[in-house]
Chain A
């Protein structure tokens, strides 16, 4: 388990950066040796690439074995434009970054739905395409490469000295780290970590998974492009031998060695791994043994990486500041709605869902009136969960109409449904396990947070204030479900019952008009059950309409205004709890027909 640092930048961090900048400036002056300065340059730009890769791998939970390709895009763009067209570095460098970012967006297309080894294949294929292009295309010069790439010039017109060039790269590296810190410790990092935790849960609270994954790919690729730009102008020569699969492997290893999903892991990992060839230069014959051995040892014995393991160690945890105490904002109950009268919130007509030959829903017609608790029961396999999945947009219906306050919404994606005020909890709990309890609720506020990327990079007052205000509201929601005392705990450390309550709090943060609870009482103990039914009644009291799937009859009969019974994907009964309990068809569905019962 990794504990991402979602702390806010304080004066201490700024001080630390000032120290780093002084060190960076002083380093090449103190150790004034051409080879040493060259090594420093390489460490700095490889660090930038590694940091970008961590945004993708550590924070978003994707994998890339093709980052060498993006690095190549940056390098060749600037190399070609400066040598062929004679453009200035200061113009070609941003272009290289932009083009790499664009390639990242393209790469995101096949990478979006592919998972595991399939995703690995997407990135491997991209990396090889870049490698083959660099190697075979006449423009890139293949193994002969591109020569006489001019270095960047100072405003006066003089070419930068190696030391000055190092300062430039290091300055960019520090800026990259700052941008990453600000982004990753803000709602951006939180949203990315949510994707890593559960894409499905993130969607149902309104996160447009597609957009955010593209964002992660673009930022990550832009970092890789910038690294490539600096590489191209380092020696004035590049060729296709650099941009190979093993570079991608080495970058990924740097991320894991430092600690994926940490802020400073990439720095530690990339510096150590990239110094190894320099240190073991004399053992040339064996350097692949050493290198392979280091990768293996890192993966097997340091799965959290160096920084990740340190963060988990008792010593560091002991010194970590406790999160600042915040006061819950109980003002307006965050999720309250004015009741919408008696008309249906959602109306479903002839809704069907087939999986291959299996009919999970066989034409269901159903209305959910506003402001009530609508119970949904039925034996296992009767189609209840499928029904909720179709209603919240996780499954596409095979046929039929879903109307939300008269508007057809069937087939809309989950994040669109969330934006329309429809969200849910899950039968098998889907929390963002690495995030704190409070941050889980904060992800729920996704649709209501207004401040954008730039505001978070710059840490504007507006963005900070918004964040603080919503943290107080989040705490109020946790208080409402009764787990405020665990706000700063990691979500996966909660008990089962508490996790279910947290899912409800997170769903309420969306401020839904219709909330669907999929078996909220499963695995909940009897004391918690009382608490749960009170919460459900309170939510209803605040004007939210609820659909509750449950096997626990006492609970469902206690809280529901209307109950619908499904069996084999069809609606077999509907009515008040009393009517349902007497309905012979319902009794048959649950207990079997009287004849069968007689035989049993």
Chain B
């Protein structure tokens, strides 16, 4: 296999890997956006907490991997309860409709400081439970963790959708998303559903963190960029379209990795350039609902 093909093959796998993480985080944006019109701008720091907390469970305490994953998801999910109470509920009725942007960023700043205090500012290696043996496909090498990320992240995204469409609790949440007042009249506790949305959103970020850590290292500053790129993924497909978000995450992941083959500088900028172009043409994302304002 020639060198370019090898690179392409590797870019495909790592693109899908990082892309499915974006899709996972962005799914969290979707769940809270449809229920409250707000989202956690510090989602990246929740991802970071998932990674570092998972690290403590898995490496420091020596718990089995599955337990560490469950622990990280539960802890970060619980942080979602706090987030909703402190940074979302008090500001949702404010005159400036985007107050939640700054209030959630404030939480993320505090979390970063906490992470530095607890785990230090250095990058910490997170051993993959699947080992570091490279799987060989011809001349291309792939870490088993990358395959696991793709399966686990996309699987979880699908699970969340099944939950929202099939489970009674999930349907209640969707009812709140469609029409708050009607849902309340039907006896659904709207406030509780909003909390649930933020718990799901946060738990997804936590899972994303523990999944990605073996590939990127775990450290206090690992979350900001993935958080923003996942936001770009959600915007790409349209915040209210779960399929669009999944596609958006994967496309952005792939785009980055493929441009990375050509030039590492392009890799960093391409996501944002693409998103600017898309929004210039389609202001509600590529697969978003066209916004017709009723007059």
Contact = CB atoms under 8 A, between A and B. Distances in A.
A293 B110 contact: yes
B198 interface: no
A449 interface: no
A292 B109 contact: yes
Given A128-B272, A136-B268, A296 B295 contact: no
Contact of B279 (A65, A122, A137): A122
Given A126-B276, A292-B110, A137 B97 contact: no
A462 interface: no
A295 B268 contact: no
B292 A355 contact: yes
Interface stretch (B16-24, B60-68, B88-96, B165-173): B88-96
B103 A245 contact: no
- A contact residues, range: 35 or more
A339 interface: no
Interface in B268-285: 268-269, 271-273, 275-277, 279-280, 283-285
A348 B112 CA distance: 62
A245 B42 CA distance: 12
Nearest to B281: A110
B91 A300 contact: yes
A113 B113 contact: no
Interface in B243-280: 265, 268-269, 271-273, 275-277, 279-280
A253 interface: yes
A253 B102 contact: yes
Classify the secondary structure of B's interface with A.
helix
B33 A117 contact: yes
Interface stretch (B50-58, B202-210, B231-239): B231-239
B39 interface: yes
Nearest to A57: B96
Contacts of A286: 113
A299 B265 contact: no
Nearest to A394: B295
A572 interface: no
Contacts of B271: 125
B285 A245 contact: no
B107 interface: yes
A83 interface: no
B5 interface: no
A121 B279 contact: yes
Classify the secondary structure of A's interface with B.
helix
A132 B273 CA distance: 11
A136 B264 CA distance: 9
Given A110-B279, A118-B279, A121-B232, A299 B99 contact: yes
A435 to B, nearest CB: 14
B218 to A, nearest CB: 19
Interface in B65-116: 86-87, 90-91, 94-99, 101-103, 105-110, 112-114, 116
A249 B102 CA distance: 7
A116 interface: yes
Interface string A226-249: 000000000000000000011001
A117 B272 CA distance: 15
Residue of B90, B97, B283 most packed against chain A (CB within 10 A): B283
B231 A252 contact: no
B224 A245 contact: yes
A285 B117 contact: yes
A121 B91 contact: no
Interface residues of B, number: 51
Given A110-B276, A129-B272, A299-B91, A63 B295 contact: no
A144 interface: no
A200 B292 CA distance: 12
B106 A296 contact: yes
Given A121-B275, A288-B109, A295-B103, A137 B265 contact: yes
A129 B95 contact: no
A303 interface: yes
Given A129-B273, A249-B102, A385 B265 contact: no
Contact of B235 (A121, A253, A288, A300): A121
Nearest to A303: B94
A57 B98 CA distance: 10
B46 to A, nearest CB: 14
A288 B283 contact: no
Given A118-B284, A303-B95, A426-B295, A256 B279 contact: no
Interface string A109-139: 1101111111011101110110011011100
Nearest to B275: A125
A291 interface: yes
B280 A200 contact: no
A35 interface: no
Given A132-B272, A288-B109, A300 B101 contact: no
B198 to A, nearest CB: 16
B216 to A, nearest CB: 18
B106 A295 contact: yes
A118 B235 contact: yes
A216 B224 CA distance: 29
A528 to B, nearest CB: 23
A115 to B, nearest CB: 7
B2 interface: no
B86 A296 contact: yes
Nearest to B109: A292
Interface string A403-443: 00000000000000000000000111000000000000000
A117 B239 contact: yes
Contacts of B269: 128-129, 132-133, 136
A212 B265 CA distance: 35
Contacts of B276: 110, 122, 125-126, 129
B293 A200 contact: yes
Nearest to B274: A125
A428 B294 CA distance: 10
A458 to B, nearest CB: 32
A72 to B, nearest CB: 14
Contact of A385 (B280, B293, B295): B295
B224 A293 contact: no
B14 to A, nearest CB: 19
B37 interface: yes
Nearest to A121: B235
A319 interface: no
A132 B97 contact: no
A1 interface: yes
A137 B239 CA distance: 32
Contacts of A287: 113
A24 to B, nearest CB: 30
Contact of B90 (A126, A249, A285, A300): A300
A389 interface: yes
A116 to B, nearest CB: 7
Given A116-B37, A256-B99, 4 more contacts: A63-B98, A117-B39, A118-B235, A132-B272
23 contacts: A57-B96, A110-B279, A114-B284, A116-B97, A117-B33, A117-B235, A118-B239, A121-B279, A125-B232, A125-B275, A125-B279, A128-B272, A129-B276, A200-B295, A245-B224, A245-B228, A246-B109, A249-B102, A253-B102, A286-B113, A289-B113, A292-B107, A299-B99
Closest 3 CB pairs of A and B: A288-B113, A292-B109, A295-B106
